[in-house]
Amino acid sequence: MVGTDKAGKKDGIVELARRRGFLWQAFEIYGGTAGFYDYGPLGALLKRRVEDKWRDFYRREGFYEVETTTISPREIFEASGHLESFTDPAVVCKSCKSFFRIGETVNVGLKCPECGGELEAAGEFNLMFQTRIGVSKGESDERAGRKSEGYLRPETAQGIFTNFQRLLRFNRDKLPFGIIQIGKAYRNEISPRQSLIRLREFTLAEVEVFVDPKEKNTHPGFEEVKDRMLRMVPGDGQEEEKSIDEAVRHGIVANEYLGYHLARVAEFLEKIGIPHDRLRFRQHHRDEMAHYARDCWDAEFLSERYGWMEIVGVADRGDYDLSAHASLSNVDMSVHADAAKITPHIIEPSYGIDRILYALLESSFDEEQVVSEIRRVLRFKREIAPIRAAVFPLLNREELKHKAREVFQKLRDAAFLIEYDDAGSIGRRYRRQDEIGTPYCITIDYQTLEDDTVTVRERDTMKQVRVPIGKLKEVLA
């Protein structure tokens, strides 16, 4: 495991991700715009696989998915508190007029990192992208202006909350139930200089679980998850690895519902390939919590490039949102339970899909010395690898190519994502597939023409075995 040092390795994955079509800076032909990235063909496949796994994971909880709009009118964020509280403090350079977010490395009193000029406080900036819905004559008229104000959502959750009564009816008026949503969300960052992880446009996968507040301490599935081990950093304590059962019993995690979902988050992340030893759960301090949260735990990934970074947030939002919408809209958001009317509480695991993809790329990336060369390989779990297998003719001869295309077609018809490659030496073709994390390379040689067997080479071990063509589907499945 040598080749390059750590600094080289962490740059290596960024270079590979760009070169092989995972992740591209958007609008690069026009110089690029900070905070916007595009997924190339392999990145989009990886993203789809992770999203599909996620969807399947929460569907098994019995949760249904919805898809709500990304643009919302002003009222939504008036009620949700985002108009007032979703802000960052900024400083501006007196001389070059660049804006910076306060915190991290920049502060009033320091010099401008761009030109060395003097910085001054520039107030709080709201982080929502604003737009205008439709046209209205009276745009100078304040009331008409407000009516047409629209915002790009900073979280997908509000689209679920505003449909709460319909969703409750869909669930036949019974609590608890869960709703999931995957979709774009937006933060108009002041200065997104850590470009890969601080995006202005990103994908969230959110779960909103509506629960009777009296039942937060008895989750019917807790028994199933209780022994899962989590590395935890409580707000007022020190890091320790413990079972979720212990964490709930000792009051480190406030209730079984929150505990259950923390355990499920850990399960999902490890299932798709985030290494257990690069994952921890950190409780927010009171002063860093979002305005709607009563309690919040971040699942953090230890990045070689960025240090500990949040990839999932698990919040107890209490009745904040439903009460706020009920009050602003005058629509009842309560539920009849036990001869009383209660407003449900909301437990919300919110996954940052782009950061999870970055974490998967970084932690799967490996470089090793093989004979006189450096082999770069993405050690993706088989189920999330963009391409399941590649099919090669050993040599560039018509009879081998013909047979290889036949095998390729057969596997593709079985709904696997397969590549065909006949360009360059066999060694070079292996290296191309290693770089994009393809678990299997299938080679057609002259023996294949005689006995219908092929060689299957496994990515991680580089071992080759001979397999009858009729058994390939089984090997790949």
Which has the closest alpha carbon to 260: 271, 273, 247?
247
Answer for the pair 471, 477: CB distance below 8 angstroms, yes or no. no
Which has the closest alpha carbon to 209: 255, 243, 254, 258?
258
Answer for the pair 148, 132: CB distance below 8 angstroms, yes or no. yes
CA atoms of 45 and 440, how far apart (whole Å): 17
When the beta carbons of 141 and 452 are compared against its own copies, the nearer one is: 141
CB of 459 vs its own copies, minimal distance in Å: 21
Would you count residue 343 as binding its own copies (CB under 8 A)?
A: no
CB of 396 vs its own copies, minimal distance in Å: 15
Would you count residue 132 as binding its own copies (CB under 8 A)?
A: yes
CB of 335 vs its own copies, minimal distance in Å: 16
Which range of residues in 32-40, 108-116, 276-284, 365-373 is near its own copies by CB under 8 A? 32-40
The two structure tokens encoding residue 440:
């299997």
CA atoms of 316 and 295, how far apart (whole Å): 5
Would you count residue 150 as binding its own copies (CB under 8 A)?
A: yes
Binders in 406-425 for its own copies, by CB under 8 A: 412, 415, 417, 423
Cis peptide preceding 41, ω within 30 of 0? no
Which range of residues in 8-16, 18-26, 394-402, 447-455 is near its own copies by CB under 8 A? 18-26
CA atoms of 37 and 199, how far apart (whole Å): 8
CB of 30 vs its own copies, minimal distance in Å: 4
Binders in 214-243 for its own copies, by CB under 8 A: none
Figure out which of the listed residues 188, 255, 433, 448 binds its own copies, where binding follows CB under 8 A.
188
Residue type, position 126, single letter: N
CA atoms of 293 and 171, how far apart (whole Å): 25
Number of Cβ atoms within 10 Å of the Cβ of 173:
12
When the beta carbons of 287 and 474 are compared against its own copies, the nearer one is: 474
Would you count residue 477 as binding its own copies (CB under 8 A)?
A: no
Would you count residue 186 as binding its own copies (CB under 8 A)?
A: yes
Answer for the pair 128, 82: CB distance below 8 angstroms, yes or no. yes
Which range of residues in 4-12, 164-172, 279-287, 342-350 is near its own copies by CB under 8 A? 164-172
Would you count residue 54 as binding its own copies (CB under 8 A)?
A: no
CA atoms of 333 and 118, how far apart (whole Å): 50
Residue 89 Cα to chain centre, angstroms: 26
Which has the closest alpha carbon to 453: 442, 440, 439?
442
CB of 77 vs its own copies, minimal distance in Å: 11
Instruction: Give the number of residues in contact with its own copies, rule: CB under 8 A.
Output: 79
Figure out which of the listed residues 108, 115, 331, 449 binds its own copies, where binding follows CB under 8 A.
331
Binders in 88-127 for its own copies, by CB under 8 A: 90, 92, 97, 99, 122, 125
Figure out which of the listed residues 16, 17, 50, 76 binds its own copies, where binding follows CB under 8 A.
76
Would you count residue 353 as binding its own copies (CB under 8 A)?
A: no
Which has the closest alpha carbon to 152: 168, 137, 132?
132
Would you count residue 143 as binding its own copies (CB under 8 A)?
A: no
